[in-house]
């Protein structure tokens, strides 16, 4: 397929988009927040501990086991402590913002391919309805 060869117009524009993203001041700041977190061992351990505890409680609930008040309280205290940690909180915010950026770009590309044209703002709004984000006919 000639559209995906390195010298195709589509791949050139893809590289331009990637370059624009990496040079964006907001993206650079978000990357900095991620790197700051990754360099902070205590924040990583705290994050991992809360994440694992949350997964454990979720699995218990899925198995039909009722969670004790103590388990819930301990998790909420650990989560609150994590949210008080500026490095971890900035990391989680950065993750969310980067994920939103990626989803938005993917949505635009997907809508372009689905419609066969550049999507208009109303196309993007219309695609937000339905059970899976639109475009599948489930609305």
- CA–CA distance, 27 with 104 (Å, rounded to integer): 14
Q: How high is the pLDDT of residue 124?
A: 86
Return averaged pLDDT per consecutive 10 residues of the chain, 139 residues in all. Answer: 84 96 98 98 98 97 96 97 98 98 95 93 77 50
Question: What's the N-to-C CA distance of the chain in angstroms?
Answer: 33
Q: Which of 47, 24, 45 is nearest to 95 (CA)?
A: 47
- CA–CA distance, 17 with 49 (Å, rounded to integer): 36
| Dihedral of alpha carbons 49, 52, 56, 58, sign | positive
Q: How high is the pLDDT of residue 127?
A: 74
- Going from N- to C-terminal start, the domains of the chain cover 8-116
Look up the CATH architecture of domain 8-116.
Answer: Up-down Bundle (1.20)
Q: How high is the pLDDT of residue 125?
A: 86
Q: How high is the pLDDT of residue 123?
A: 87
Give me the long-range contacts of 110-113 (CB less than 8 A, separation at least 24): 110/135, 111/135
Element (H, E) at 120: none
- CA–CA distance, 47 with 37 (Å, rounded to integer): 10
Q: How high is the pLDDT of residue 139?
A: 45
Q: How high is the pLDDT of residue 4?
A: 80
Q: How high is the pLDDT of residue 1?
A: 63
Q: How high is the pLDDT of residue 120?
A: 92
């Amino acid at each position: 397929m000639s559209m995906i060869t390195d010298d195709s117009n589509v791949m050139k524009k893809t590289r331009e988009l990637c370059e624009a993203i990496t040079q964006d001041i907001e993206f650079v700041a978000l990357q900095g927040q991620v790197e700051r977190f990754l360099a902070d061992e205590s924040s990583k351990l705290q994050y991992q501990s809360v994440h694992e505890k949350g997964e454990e409680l979720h699995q218990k609930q899925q198995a039909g086991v009722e969670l004790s008040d103590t388990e819930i309280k301990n998790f909420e205290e650990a989560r609150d402590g994590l949210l008080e940690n500026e490095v971890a909180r900035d990391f989680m915010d950065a993750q969310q913002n980067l994920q939103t950026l990626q989803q938005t770009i993917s949505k635009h590309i997907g809508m372009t391919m689905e419609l066969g044209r550049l999507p208009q703002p109303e196309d993007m709004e219309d695609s937000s309805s339905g059970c899976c984000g639109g475009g599948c006919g489930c609305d």
